[in-house]
Structure 1
Amino acid sequence: MPEQSFAAVTVPSAGDAALSAEDAKLVTLARSSRARAGAAEGAAVRDQDGRTYAAASVALPSLTVTALQLAVAQAAASGATKIEAAAVVTEGSALDGAGHAAVRDLAADAAIHVAGPSGTLLGTVVA
Structure 2
Amino acid sequence: MSETGAGLSAEDTKLLTLARATRARVAADEGAAVRDRDGRTYAAATVDLPSLRLSALQVCVAMAVASGSRGLEAAVVLTEEPALRAADVEVVRELAGHDVVLHRADPRGAVQDTLRT
Question: Is TM (by shorter chain) over 0.5?
Answer: yes
Contact in 2 for aligned 1:68/1:100 (Cα 8 Å): no
What is the aligned counterpart of 1:117 among 91, 107, 110? 107
What is the aligned counterpart of 1:59 among 45, 48, 51? 48
CA distance in 2, matches of 1:28, 1:93: 20
Letter in 1 for 2:57: L
* Alpha-carbon RMSD: 1.5
How far off its partner does 1:106 sit?
Answer: 1.5
Letter in 2 for 1:86: A
SS of 1:70's equivalent?
A: helix
| Percent of aligned positions that are identical | 57
Indicate the residue corresponding to 1:24 in structure 2.
Answer: 13
How far off its partner does 1:28 sit?
Answer: 0.7
SS of 1:95's equivalent?
A: coil
CA distance in 2, matches of 1:31, 1:92: 15
Gaps of 5+ in 1: 1-12
CA distance in 1, matches of 2:26, 2:91: 21
Following TM superposition, where does structure 1 have runs of at least 4 consecutive aligned residues deviating by more than 4 angstroms? Answer: none
How far off its partner does 1:98 sit?
Answer: 1.7
Mapping of 1:66-85 within 5 angstroms?
66-85=55-74
Task: Please say which structure displays the higher CA radius of gyration.
Answer: 1
Aligned residues: 114
How far off its partner does 1:125 sit?
Answer: 1.1
Contact in 2 for aligned 1:41/1:56 (Cα 8 Å): yes
